[in-house]
Amino acid sequence: MDYQRLADILFPNVTDTPEMLEERFPARNAPEGAVITRMAPSPTGFVHLGNLVQGLTSERMAHQSGGVLFLRVEDTDAKREVPGAVEVLINTLKHYGIQFDEGASMDGDNGNYGPYRQRQRAAIYHVYAKKLVSEGKAYPCFCTEEELAAMRQTQEANKETTGYYGKYAMWRDRSLEDITAQLSAGNPWVLRFRSTGSIENQFKFDDVVKGKLTITENDVDHVLLKSDGIPTYHFAHAVDDHLMRTTHVVRGDEWLPTLPFHIQLFQALGFKLPKYVHIGPLMKMDGNSKRKLSKRKDPELALTFYKAEGFPVAAVYEYIMTLLNSNYEDWRRANPDAPATDFKFSPKKLNPAGNLFDYAKLTDVSKNVISKMSAEEVYALLLEWAQEFDADFAEKLSADKDYAVSILAIGRGGKKPRKDIAVWKEAKPYMGLFYDEYLQTPVFDEKFSKETVRTVLEKFLAIYDPADDSSAWFDKVKSITEEIGFTTDMKAYKADPAAFPGTVADVSTFIRQAVTGQTNSPDLYTVMQILGKERSLARINEVLKSL
């Protein structure tokens, strides 16, 4: 067979050569050991936690080594693409702070190794497709859907592996005449790889995360170009990662089964194989067993979920780091204030089996991260969140910034800062008592008579003085307690509760409920200072009217 002739027939318009492309995309001028890597997501409209895990791993590997991280949009599957998905993708990754040095962006592409969107690279793939055909390493296949289905049925009936291989590879060795006859009839074709592998052969392979693997050779003649001339993931991966000079491919381990084919393809194309970093899946506990997080069942897989709940980006980042590198938490304890990027991230420490995602732990981490922020910082992030997800609250927050900041400053800054808020969604219930419109109506414990509550509140109104310090304030609460025959001796009360009609804690709760509407609140003395005398007392008066 005259392969060069076949190549010219199949790709008459391809005049560029691999050599020209090598020149156009020369080896990068990167320091020794620099990791050149990429995020290569498909724009499906759904950006998930796994994308972020992959993204942060790539980002750390690149930037820790003085290398490059770029964003390549893998949009070869037009059927899966939803309108606006590329924008969603770029904006979501941006929200999570992944810094790309080059690649696709909202203002077009930047960098010398583009285009960075695969559908714009068709001409490039065809150069290599033509080369493979001319060397007898790829061939056109005119099988119809029906023929492929029939082949599959036969294989299933014979209990054989399904796929286009060996004697089933119908177009592998067809003559030029057969091929040209199909072409002149205008029949569609795909380009297939001519595999020289055998499943009898195995070889060793070293993956950065998975370690030493024993791999069985691929014997399937996989599709390289679909009938519309657009490449499959496999072919695009080899061509793009070679020409973009990727040194490390960080991707999900769902690609491991096709790795043997990828290795073969790089060899056939004469490309140096990059290093592979195959990341295990994210799992969750479901009852007593672990399972992969699923798009259908688990809303917490979508990154939009974390944004809407109001997890600060820093908290998600912090949590993912604890998930990926088991020594991160120790490092954080030793370096509580250092930027997370000071940590020496190691892809080798990733769990080859994947990681158990623990929502409760994320919430804990987030509480910690927020508790360490300044009130100003919390205000800015909360406002940004509210502007998108709770316009009414955003309005209140921005109407009086100093007031909001003083609320957020309660219990902040000390050795043991308060940890009331894990997500911005919780800020409104927490802060609501400071805004008259969000104030709840108190429901007093029915154990106590209305009369008792009223007496306490009236006495309190009579002696409250905003100039008191917190201990003078509390002394007054204690004196009211004694006046109504409740006890201030909590020890005695605990030993024999039946001996007392109530305690100083109950008295404080009446006042707290009258002022805040709630049985729980930050330090009541401070709350009243922030509300001011007039509003505090007006609230108590209002409650008195309803008693």
40 or 268: CB nearest ligand GLU: 40
**Least spacing, CB of residue 64 vs ligand GLU, in Å:** 19
276 or 345: CB nearest ligand GLU: 276
Reduce the DSSP state of residue 252 to 3 states and report it.
strand
Question: Dihedral angle at the C-alpha atoms of 240, 242, 243, 247, nearest 10 degrees?
Answer: 100
With CA atoms as reference, report the closest residue to 30 among 88, 70, 81. Answer: 70
Judged by CB under 6 A, the stretch of 20-28, 131-139, 244-252, 346-354 that binds ligand GLU is 244-252
**Least spacing, CB of residue 244 vs ligand GLU, in Å:** 12
The DSSP H or E segment spanning 513 is: helix 504-516
Question: Dihedral angle at the C-alpha atoms of 524, 528, 529, 535, nearest 10 degrees?
Answer: 170
Q: Quote the Cα angle for 388-393-395, to 5°.
A: 85
Measured distance CA(163)–CA(161) in Å, rounded: 7
Q: Is the dihedral of CA 302, 246, 239, 149 positive or negative?
A: negative
76 or 452: CB nearest ligand GLU: 76
292 or 512: CB nearest ligand GLU: 292
Contact pattern for ligand GLU over residues 500 through 539, marking x by CB under 6 A: ----------------------------------------
Contact pattern for ligand GLU over residues 76 through 105, marking x by CB under 6 A: ------------------------------
Task: Among 192, 237, 292, 512, indicate the residue that binds ligand GLU (CB under 6 A).
Answer: 237
Reduce the DSSP state of residue 186 to 3 states and report it.
coil
Could you tell me if 31 and 66 are in contact, meaning their C-beta atoms sit under 8 angstroms apart?
Answer: yes
**Least spacing, CB of residue 38 vs ligand GLU, in Å:** 7
119 or 418: CB nearest ligand GLU: 119
**Least spacing, CB of residue 51 vs ligand GLU, in Å:** 8
**Least spacing, CB of residue 40 vs ligand GLU, in Å:** 4
- Within positions 13 to 72, which residues make up the interface with ligand GLU, using CB under 6 A? 40-42
> Is there binding between residue 240 and ligand GLU (CB under 6 A)?
no
Which phi-psi region, left, alpha or beta, contains residue 534 (left: φ > 0; alpha: ψ -120 to 50)? alpha
Contact pattern for ligand GLU over residues 320 through 349, marking x by CB under 6 A: ------------------------------
**Least spacing, CB of residue 70 vs ligand GLU, in Å:** 12
303 or 515: CB nearest ligand GLU: 303
Task: Among 222, 251, 278, 539, indicate the residue that binds ligand GLU (CB under 6 A).
Answer: 251
Q: Quote the Cα angle for 374-378-379, to 5°.
A: 115
Q: Which residues of 81-102 are buried (b: 16+ CB within 10 A; e: fewer)?
A: beeebbebbbebbeebebebeb
Binding residues for ligand GLU, total number by CB under 6 A = 8
41 or 442: CB nearest ligand GLU: 41
Residue 290 β-bridge partners: 285
Residue 487 β-bridge partners: 503
255 or 474: CB nearest ligand GLU: 255
126 or 278: CB nearest ligand GLU: 278
Measured distance CA(159)–CA(466) in Å, rounded: 86
DSSP state of 257: G
**Least spacing, CB of residue 304 vs ligand GLU, in Å:** 17
**Least spacing, CB of residue 59 vs ligand GLU, in Å:** 13
- Residue matched to tokens 């799992």: 283
16 or 81: CB nearest ligand GLU: 81
> Is there binding between residue 247 and ligand GLU (CB under 6 A)?
no
72 or 332: CB nearest ligand GLU: 72
**Least spacing, CB of residue 84 vs ligand GLU, in Å:** 18
Phi and psi at residue 275, to the nearest 5°: -85, 145
Amino acid symbol at 148: L
Task: Among 74, 75, 109, 219, indicate the residue that binds ligand GLU (CB under 6 A).
Answer: 74
Could you tell me if 340 and 321 are in contact, meaning their C-beta atoms sit under 8 angstroms apart?
Answer: yes
DSSP codes of every residue in 476-510: HHHHHHHHTT-BS-HHHHHH-GGG-S-BHHHHHHH
Measured distance CA(250)–CA(467) in Å, rounded: 62
**Least spacing, CB of residue 74 vs ligand GLU, in Å:** 4
50 or 517: CB nearest ligand GLU: 50
**Least spacing, CB of residue 52 vs ligand GLU, in Å:** 13
Measured distance CA(492)–CA(505) in Å, rounded: 13
- Residue matched to tokens 């023929």: 147
**Least spacing, CB of residue 188 vs ligand GLU, in Å:** 25
DSSP codes of every residue in 329-369: HHHHHH-TTS-GGGS---GGGS-TT-EE--HHHHHHHHHHH
131 or 251: CB nearest ligand GLU: 251
Which residues are near ligand GLU by CB under 6 A?
40-42, 74, 237, 249, 251-252
